A and B are shown apart, each in its own frame.
Chain A
C-alpha cells in the first residue's frame, strides 16, 4: 500500500514508535503503528495479535504451521474499500499517474505496473478506458480526476492484487 502511494521510505533504520515494554497488540490502530518503512523486525504480542495482521493472514505465533492459512473474509475487502490507508493509496497513485502522462493508455499501463507488476492486456486497457470515461461523465457525479482515482481504487480491490500466485 505504501509503495503504491509512493510513501514508502527506503532508508534503513527507524525505530518502533512504542515505549519500552510496550507491544503492538489489538489495542493499536493501524495509525499508531505507522512508520512508512518496510519492516525488518517487529515485536509481536502472542496473545493479542494486531487485527490488521490477522485480517491478512499473519501466522498465529502460538502454533507451528507448515503453511500460512489463506483466508477469504469480508474484512479484507472492507479494508481495501474503506480504510483511510487504502483510500489514500488509491488517491495518491491516481495523482501520480495523472501527473506523469496525459495519455490515458499510458496511465492505465502505469497503474497496472505499479499495482500488479505487469502490463495490461488489450482487453484490460479497453475496459479501463471505458470505466474512466463512464465515470468522468457529468451524470455520474464524479469528474475526470475522480474517475481515475476510482479506477486506481478498483484495481486495488481486484483479487490479483491481493494474491501472489
Chain B
C-alpha cells in the first residue's frame, strides 16, 4: 500500500512541521507499530544486547569518592586547585579535599573501589568501568536530560525508547520499557519519553520516588469485574477506530489504541509480576529484602529482574538522592549502604 495514500493536505502540513524528518518515515514507523511489531524492519547490524537494566543513582554519587581513584587529589589535600576550573561550575569552591574514604584494589582486574562499596568491590571482575564520560550541564535538570536523552536543549528520545524501538518487545502483555520509581522532576517524563519515536516506546512507570512498595496505580477495579471492563473498552475502541478511519493517518491515535489494549492486558499480567511475595527466602536475602536499609532498592532490583525475565527490554531502577552538597560522609555512607551488595564472596585481595 502506498504510504502517501491516506494523508490529507492538512495532515501533511501538520506532520512535517513537527517531529522527526520526513513525513513518510513517521508514517512508516506508525504503521509498523500498529502491525504489532514495534521494531524497525531490518536492523543495520545483528543485535547483541538482549536486555538492559539501568540502575540510576539520582543526584550524583561523587566519582572521586566511589570508583574513580585520584591519588593526586589525596596528595594535594588542602591546597587550591593547581589549574583552571572547568567552565561548567557555578558554585563557590574552596581548596581540594581528599576523599574521606580509602580506596582499595579488588579482584583480578585490580580495579579501585572506595570503602563506600566493599561488596560491589567483590564483583569488579564482572564490571566494566567507563571513566571517560563527562557532562556539559551542571544543573540537575539539564544533566539528567543529557544523560537520559543525549540533549538538554532539544527534545529527544530517551535511551530506553531507542532500545525499545530497536529491539521491540518480547512480551506483548507488557510494555518494552519500564522505569521503576523514577524521579518526576529534573526533566521528568522527558527522561523516559519517546520524543519523535512512536509513542509506544516511552516508559511505563512503576511507582514514584517515595519508598513505598513499587506498584502501578489503578490496576484493579474496586467494583467491576474484568468481563464488564472488557465490554467498556471494546466499545470505546470501536469509537476510537471509527475516529481513526475518519482522520486517516494519526500516529498518536493509533498509539492510544495500542496503549489501551496494553493497559487492559497489564491488569492480568502485571499484578503477578509485581507481587514479590512468592520469591524464596534465598532470593530475598540475595536482594537484601531481609534488611531494612537495603529492602527498598532491593525490591526495585528484584522487580527489574522479574520484568527483564518476563521480556521487558529496558528497565530502569532509580535510587534517590545522592545530592550531597553537605553531609558528604553521613549521607553518601548511608546511601551507599542501601545499594551495596554482591552475590558472591570473592577471596580477600
Instruction: Name A residues whose Cβ lies closer than 8 Å to a Cβ of B.
Output: 26-27, 46-49, 51, 54, 57, 60-63, 65, 69-79, 81-84, 87, 123-124, 127, 131, 135, 140-142, 150-151, 153-155, 157-160, 162-163
Contacts and interface: CB of A to CB of B under 8 A. Distances in A.
B241 to A, nearest CB: 10
Given A62-B140, A82-B229, 20 more contacts: A47-B186, A48-B185, A60-B187, A62-B141, A62-B187, A63-B141, A63-B186, A70-B199, A74-B204, A75-B216, A78-B217, A78-B218, A78-B263, A79-B217, A81-B218, A83-B218, A140-B231, A141-B228, A150-B231, A158-B240
Interface stretch (B81-89, B106-114, B253-261): B253-261
B178 to A, nearest CB: 11
B189 A60 contact: yes
A124 B255 CA distance: 22
B273 interface: no
B341 interface: no
B232 A154 contact: yes
Given A81-B229, A82-B222, A87-B222, A131 B188 contact: no
Given A69-B193, A157-B233, A60 B188 contact: yes
Contact of B266 (A63, A78, A153, A163): A78
Nearest to B241: A159
A26 B232 contact: no
Contact of B217 (A75, A87, A123): A75
Contacts of A162: 256
Q: Chain B interface residue count: which class?
A: 35 or more
B169 interface: no
27 contacts: A26-B184, A48-B208, A51-B184, A51-B208, A54-B189, A63-B142, A63-B186, A70-B199, A72-B199, A72-B256, A72-B259, A73-B259, A75-B263, A83-B217, A87-B223, A123-B242, A124-B239, A124-B242, A135-B231, A154-B235, A157-B232, A158-B236, A158-B240, A158-B243, A159-B239, A160-B239, A160-B240
Interface of B is mostly: helix
B52 interface: no
Contacts of A77: 259-260, 263-264
B186 A62 contact: yes
A33 B190 CA distance: 25
Contacts of A51: 184, 208, 217
A61 B219 contact: no
A81 B186 CA distance: 30
Interface in B244-269: 252-253, 255-257, 259-260, 262-264, 266-267
Given A49-B185, A54-B189, A63-B187, A72 B218 contact: no
Contact of A73 (B145, B204, B236): B204
